[in-house]
Amino acid sequence: MGSTGVDFRSVLDQVRTRAEQAGVFDSVTREGDSLICQAKGSAEPATYRLAMRDDGLRVSLEMEDRWLSESIEAALMNSGDALEELLDDELAELGYEGAEPTYRHFRSEAMRFTFESPIPVEGLEGEAVAERAAQFLLGYEACFRQLGDMNQSDD
């Protein structure tokens, strides 16, 4: 993970507690080395994921529905906002101080439309890694909830 002495299972457990307390997900479960959070109120099923990849800790939003993915893209295009800036604003609200986040948008091998960002944890230890991971997971949820058809709970 780039941080020495960090127990990733402990990080997942700490972030799971924060995610459950936030009350912004339909469900929060741990599957192996991933934390899986079901989006609350989206028009179609969507999943937020916190996972360790070969190249580091990542947060993502994944969906099978092309229409839902395109609704997010259209909202960004119509607003003229950059996703990086929207995410950076949400992270700042959660106390994150660091470089503006990056993301990539692609279709995964599992054929899921995916927005994914690396979580910068270099130089962090223990609870600081869990705090940073929680900031990115909750920041992703707060950012994407505002876009496209990710918040249909009022309909």
Assigned fold of 8-141: Yope Regulator; Chain: A, (3.30.1460)
- Domain spans of the chain, in order of start: 8-141
Length of the chain: 155
- CA 10 to CA 21: how far, in whole Å? 17
Q: Could you read off the pLDDT of 51-109 as tens digits, one per residue?
A: 988 888 999 999 999 999 999 999 999 999 999 999 999 999 999 998 899 999 999 99
pTM for the full predicted model: 0.93
Q: How far is CA 51 from CA 86, 90, 110, 119, 145, in A?
A: 22, 20, 15, 10, 20
Q: Could you read off the pLDDT of 20-52 as tens digits, one per residue?
A: 999 999 999 999 999 999 999 999 999 999 998
- CA 39 to CA 97: how far, in whole Å? 26
